[in-house]
């Protein structure tokens, strides 16, 4: 198991450590409910350095990325992030959703999901060879850098507290490079996150060398910003309806079933997995991902694999669920047979042998 570079600070500030995606990191800092609510109502920060960070460079880097990612990257302007972009296998199964940063013509960055770091790196390297992009370099900088996400409606004040003057003018998914923070230089500051910022608030992420990340972490604590862990991060992303790689999709799922529209484009052609994806889209899919909104006051954590019933018949299964203290109800995502994907209709979810009523909805839940 690898440790996040700032694990000593996690220990010092009360992080309750556990394993996620091969990394030792904090599940909470004492009170996941307060951490979640801090993001919704004020501000909190996450050390998300367990996520993989790659630097991709070379004269033909754009052409290479266009061939391996299912999203049309020509729509991404310089100084902006792509939003989630899918890496597909040849059968159109989803390897991972990756955040890409267009830095300059010959330089892109990528942030990938922790459990998929080596799979993504190998996949990109394989296709770099297969497609003849030997001039494109891919470097894994995960261990030498940190990524800190400051999330919540008061994030901007915190960024100002860190002396990032540019923060206020950043638009969603825009970033600035090589910014001075606490007397050092960070790789970039972006207006982004994964807690529902597009829906609710406006978060920022700071990508920095380890030593500077350390000082930023300590400064945030000093500024009174609450550190938050993976539990709050998971409940926040679920409320926001974001899919979790390896949980809500994997290589046996295609993006049409997952209805992960924002992460791929069908009007772009010629990328890895395109043919099968187009075929799936044209022929229709047997199952689709839906949201399940339980009744107010239902205290429950729907678990992966819990059966979903419509009209008394088992038609699907839960992939992830949570109890949202913010919404005071349980919420889940899962796949149901497309014949029974009655949006707005009623389903029952069988949790521990008991049936709970839920509405079939389109996420987000907030």
Partner 1 sequence: MLVRTRVGEYLVREDLYYTDTDEWVRVSGDEAVVGITDYAQKKLKYIVSVELSSAGREVRRGEVIATLESVKAIADVYSPLDGLLLEVNEALVTSPDMLNKDPYGAGWIAKLRVTGSLPKLMSPEEYADYIRKREGSG
Which residues contact partner 1 by CB under 8 A? 14, 16, 27-28, 31-33, 231, 234-235, 299-301, 322-323, 325, 352
Q: CB of 45: closest distance to partner 1 in angstroms?
A: 19
CA distance 317 to 303: 9
CB nearer to partner 1: pick between 175 and 356 = 356
CB nearer to partner 1: pick between 172 and 325 = 325
| CB-count exposure of residue 105 (10 Å: 0-12, 13-18, 19+) | exposed
Q: CB of 194: closest distance to partner 1 in angstroms?
A: 17
CB nearer to partner 1: pick between 14 and 311 = 14
Q: CB of 31: closest distance to partner 1 in angstroms?
A: 8
CB nearer to partner 1: pick between 46 and 323 = 323
Contacts of 278 (CB under 8 A, 6+ apart): 266
| CB-count exposure of residue 247 (10 Å: 0-12, 13-18, 19+) | middle
Q: Using CA atoms in the order 112, 114, 116, 118, what is the torsion angle rounded to 10 degrees?
A: 90
Q: CB of 94: closest distance to partner 1 in angstroms?
A: 25
CB nearer to partner 1: pick between 96 and 234 = 234
Q: CB of 12: closest distance to partner 1 in angstroms?
A: 12
Q: CB of 231: closest distance to partner 1 in angstroms?
A: 6
CB nearer to partner 1: pick between 93 and 334 = 334
CB nearer to partner 1: pick between 192 and 235 = 235
CB nearer to partner 1: pick between 39 and 231 = 231
CB-side neighbour CA atoms (13 Å) of 259:
17
Q: CB of 323: closest distance to partner 1 in angstroms?
A: 4
Q: CB of 14: closest distance to partner 1 in angstroms?
A: 8
The values of phi and psi at residue 74, to 5°, are: -70, -15
């Amino acid at each position: 198991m690898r440790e996040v570079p700032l694990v000593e600070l996690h220990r010092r500030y009360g992080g309750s450590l556990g394993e996620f995606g091969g990394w030792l990191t904090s599940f909470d800092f004492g009170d996941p409910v307060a951490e979640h609510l801090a993001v919704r109502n004020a501000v909190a920060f996450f050390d998300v350095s367990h996520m993989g960070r790659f630097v991709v460079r070379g004269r033909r880097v754009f052409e290479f990325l266009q061939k391996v990612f299912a999203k049309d990257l020509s729509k991404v302007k310089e100084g902006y992030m792509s939003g989630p972009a899918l890496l597909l296998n040849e059968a159109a199964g989803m390897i991972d959703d990756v955040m890409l940063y267009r830095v300059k013509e010959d330089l892109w960055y990528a942030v990938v999901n922790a459990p998929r770091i080596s799979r993504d790196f190998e996949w990109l390297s394989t296709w770099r060879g297969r497609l003849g992009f030997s001039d494109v370099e891919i470097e894994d900088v995960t261990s030498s850098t940190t990524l800190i996400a400051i999330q919540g409606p008061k994030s901007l004040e915190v960024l100002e507290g860190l002396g990032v003057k540019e923060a206020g003018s950043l638009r969603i998914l825009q970033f600035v490079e090589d910014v001075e923070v606490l007397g050092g230089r960070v790789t970039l500051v972006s207006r982004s996150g994964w807690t529902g910022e597009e829906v609710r608030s406006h978060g920022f992420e700071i990508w920095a060398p380890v030593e500077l990340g350390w000082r930023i972490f300590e400064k945030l604590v000093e500024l009174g910003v609450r550190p938050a862990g993976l539990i709050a991060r998971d409940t926040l992303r679920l409320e926001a309806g974001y899919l979790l790689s390896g949980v809500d999709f994997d290589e046996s799922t295609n993006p049409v079933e997952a209805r992960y529209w924002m992460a791929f484009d069908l009007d772009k052609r010629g990328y890895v997995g395109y043919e099968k994806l187009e075929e799936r889209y044209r022929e229709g899919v047997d199952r689709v991902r839906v949201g399940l909104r339980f009744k107010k006051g239902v205290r429950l954590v729907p678990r992966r694999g819990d059966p979903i019933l419509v009209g008394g018949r088992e038609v699907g299964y839960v992939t992830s669920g949570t109890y949202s203290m913010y919404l005071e109800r349980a919420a889940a995502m899962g796949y149901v047979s497309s014949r029974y994907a009655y949006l707005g209709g009623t389903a029952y979810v069988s949790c521990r042998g008991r049936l709970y009523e839920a509405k079939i909805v389109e996420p987000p839940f907030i």
